[in-house]
């Protein structure tokens, strides 16, 4: 692999002198000033739409007002309003939040060709997160791409549907998805001025960001806005979308609860608890922060884009089944231990709630017990149609999860959730795309030593549950969050970022600097790991399906 990388670097050198990234760029809205960051140059907090406040609240995004003085911002804009009860809430949020960041190589190859563009859509269950967390995509940028990170409205501000908010076509809700589409239109119109190829745009995202990518593959309004797509752990909600009527019922319940609690603080427009459009668009932001974001989270505990008749005329599954989806090359994948993150969150919450708080990982009383695992099988059985006794005795018996009895319940519960929510749905999505004849490559991230994204304080991991290759753990191999700690992980970061950049450049992850990755239609899933001397290897899809019980317990979950 080292020889290939050296040869690639030599080829770039021979192609011509490097071209410096532009310092001052004129966009359609006005000039923006670059921030030099060594080998990477960034333009921060560029407005791609008007602030969605006042009369523009809960509407499709409007064009940003033009400006004349250069925007010389050195950090990402504050994130959009967040829903509170999560360890991943981003600080400093505000309603005026529709901005994007652009990161480019400070010295691009001097061959005169524009660079491929990758647009990152952050995750966070459509309720948390922001562009600023991903401000260092240098593992990818260093390989010759431009990475754009975007914001979009979250929670109640991005996905509340209400009869009073219907547009001229009768649609309400999915404003966060419309924000993403507005950002993609902005990229098509402006990225050439930054040295990017407006005709070679790859969208990619993780978790809710991955589900967003899947939504864009289905949405007729996203047609023509991108050329390739990467879905990271994004197939979790394919069967969980609701119709606009149900979304409006839930939204009205959240609004009613907020107005009842806020009373006079909701403002004169809402006198008597009425909930017309004027009232809703002029509720003070303080009331939204104090009440509506949490009231909406209670009414809609699992936020995903709804079938609003506009962004999505049908469910994503129905659109794909009808062959009406947007067909572009796709990378799709998931992580081996996705749901360990959510089990770990439960442990962390329990430790924090102890009196006094207890963050000694040697004290294992906060791990899931065998009794709790048995009780958790009941709701899961009701949701999946698989008998609880089969879950705990046939598919996920405790004895199958290692010799440590204290860890077995957590490992078993996490495996069941991973398989039913992420792994099998992901394989179904890849199978559907491959059956349509579109190029698709599938991966499973398996690095059990990946730095945990939760539970580390002062350099010490305070949980008893090992995270393994948990949900979002692959992000450290695409973005620089912290030192990966050893040469094996850095080698995997090099390989993964090379795959992603190769794909953005050509629509195929294969190329210089990475081992062969067979397409999914060949019956292969690429295992991304540090084991076995680098461990990036193909694995038969049937092995993946068997390992994740996709041929048995979740056979009814089709896409």
- Tens of pLDDT along the chain (559 residues) come to 333 333 333 333 334 456 788 899 999 999 999 999 999 999 999 999 999 999 999 999 999 999 999 999 999 999 999 986 677 888 889 999 999 999 999 997 767 799 999 999 999 999 999 999 999 999 999 999 999 999 999 999 999 999 999 999 999 999 999 999 999 999 999 999 999 999 999 999 999 999 999 999 999 999 999 999 999 999 997 877 999 999 999 999 999 999 999 888 888 788 877 889 999 999 999 999 999 999 999 999 999 999 999 999 999 999 999 999 999 999 999 999 999 999 999 999 999 999 999 999 999 999 999 999 999 999 988 888 889 999 999 999 999 999 999 999 999 999 999 999 999 999 999 999 999 999 999 999 999 999 999 999 988 999 999 999 999 999 999 999 988 999 999 999 999 999 999 999 999 999 988 889 999 987 889 999 986 555 566 667 778 988 999 877 665 555 6
The residues pairing with 71 across neighbouring beta strands, listed in sequence order, are 32
**CA–CA gap between residue 459 and residue 348 (Å, rounded):** 16
Q: Give pLDDT, residue 8.
A: 36
pLDDT at 127 (0 to 100): 96
pTM of the predicted structure, to 2 decimals: 0.94
Q: Cα–Cα distance between 83 and 89 in angstroms, integer?
A: 7
pLDDT value, residue 88:
80
Residue 104 neighbours by CB under 8 Å, 6+ apart: 21, 40, 41, 42, 115, 141, 146, 147, 194, 195, 196
Note the pLDDT of residue 90: 83
16 burial type by CB count under 10 A (0-12 exposed, 13-18 middle, 19+ buried)? exposed
C-beta separation of 341 from 86 below 8 A: no
| Residue 534 CB coordination number (10 Å) | 15
3 state DSSP class of 337: coil
Angle at which helix 208-218 crosses helix 175-190, to 10 degrees, equals: 80
Give the number of other CB atoms < 10 A from CB of residue 297. 20
Answer yes or no: CATH 3.40.50.1820 is held by domain 19-241+313-321: yes
Torsion (CA) 351, 355, 356, 360 in degrees, nearest 10: -30
| CA 223/CA 218 separation, integer angstroms | 9
Q: Could you tell me which of 6, 98, 95 has the C-alpha nearest to residue 47?
A: 98
Pairing of strands 35-37, 31-33: unpaired
Question: Where do the CATH 3.40.50.1820 domains begin and end in the chain?
Answer: 19-241+313-321, 336-547
The CATH superfamily holding the domain 336-547 is: Alpha/Beta hydrolase fold, catalytic domain (3.40.50.1820)
* Per-residue pLDDT, 523: 82
Both tokens of 145, joined, read: 């791409």
Which tens digits make up the pLDDT trace of 70-125?
Answer: 999 999 999 999 986 677 888 889 999 999 999 999 997 767 799 999 999 999 99
Rounded Cα–Cα distance for residues 372 and 367 (Å): 10
- Alpha helices by DSSP H, listed for 25-146, are 138-141
């Amino acid at each position: 692999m080292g020889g290939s990388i050296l040869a690639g670097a030599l080829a770039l050198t021979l192609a011509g002198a490097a071209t410096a990234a532009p310092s001052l760029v004129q966009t359609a809205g006005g000039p923006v000033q670059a921030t030099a960051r060594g080998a990477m140059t960034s333009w921060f907090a560029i407005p791609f739409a008007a602030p969605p406040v006042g009369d523009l609240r809960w509407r499709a995004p409007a064009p940003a007002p033009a400006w004349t003085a250069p925007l010389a911002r050195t950090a990402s804009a504050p994130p959009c309003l967040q829903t509170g009860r999560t360890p991943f809430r981003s600080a400093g949020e505000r309603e005026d939040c529709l901005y994007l960041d652009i990161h480019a190589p400070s010295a691009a190859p001097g061959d005169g060709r524009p660079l491929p563009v990758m647009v990152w859509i952050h995750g966070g269950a459509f309720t948390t997160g922001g562009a600023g967390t991903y401000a260092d995509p240098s593992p990818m940028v260093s390989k010759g791409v431009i990475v754009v990170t975007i914001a979009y409205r979250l929670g109640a501000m991005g996905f509340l549907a209400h009869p009073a908010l219907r547009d001229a076509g009768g649609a309400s809700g999915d404003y966060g998805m419309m924000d993403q589409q507005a950002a993609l239109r902005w990229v098509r119109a402006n990225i050439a001025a930054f040295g990017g190829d407006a005709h070679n745009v790859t969208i990619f995202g993780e978790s809710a960001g991955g589900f967003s990518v899947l939504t864009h593959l289905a949405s007729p309004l996203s047609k023509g806005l991108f050329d390739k797509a990467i879905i990271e752990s994004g197939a979790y909600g394919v069967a969980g979308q609701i119709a606009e009527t149900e979304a409006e019922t839930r939204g009205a319940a959240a609004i009613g609860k907020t107005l009842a609690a806020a009373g006079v603080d909701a403002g004169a427009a809402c006198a008597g608890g009425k909930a017309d459009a004027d009232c809703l668009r002029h509720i003070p932001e303080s009331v939204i922060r104090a009440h509506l974001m949490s009231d909406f989270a209670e009414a809609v505990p699992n936020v995903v884009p709804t079938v609003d008749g506009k962004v999505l005329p049908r469910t994503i599954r129905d659109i794909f089944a009808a062959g009406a989806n947007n067909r572009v090359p796709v990378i799709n994948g998931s992580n081996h231990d996705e749901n360990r993150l959510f089990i770990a969150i439960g442990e962390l919450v329990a430790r924090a709630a102890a009196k006094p708080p207890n963050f000694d990982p040697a004290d294992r009383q906060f791990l899931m017990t065998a009794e709790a695992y048995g009780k958790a099988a009941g709701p899961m059985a009701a949701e999946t149609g698989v008998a609880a006794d089969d879950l705990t005795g046939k598919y996920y018996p405790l004895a199958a999860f290692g010799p440590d009895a204290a860890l077995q319940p957590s490992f078993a519960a996490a495996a069941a959730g991973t398989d039913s929510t992420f792994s099998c749905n992901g394989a179904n999505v890849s199978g559907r795309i491959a059956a349509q004849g579109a190029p698709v490559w599938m991966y499973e991230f398996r690095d059990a030593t990946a730095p945990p994204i939760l539970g580390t304080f002062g350099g010490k991991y305070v949980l008893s549950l090992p995270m393994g290759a948990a949900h979002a753990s692959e992000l450290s191999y695409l973005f620089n969050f912290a030192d990966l700690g050893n040469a094996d992980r850095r080698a995997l970061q090099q390989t993964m970022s090379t795959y992603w950049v190769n794909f953005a450049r050509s629509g195929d992850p294969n190329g210089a600097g990475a081992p062969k990755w067979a397409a999914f239609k060949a019956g292969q899933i690429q295992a991304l790991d540090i084991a076995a001397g680098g461990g990036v290897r193909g694995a038969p899809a049937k092995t993946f399906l068997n390992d994740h019980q996709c041929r048995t317990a979740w056979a009814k979950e089709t896409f």
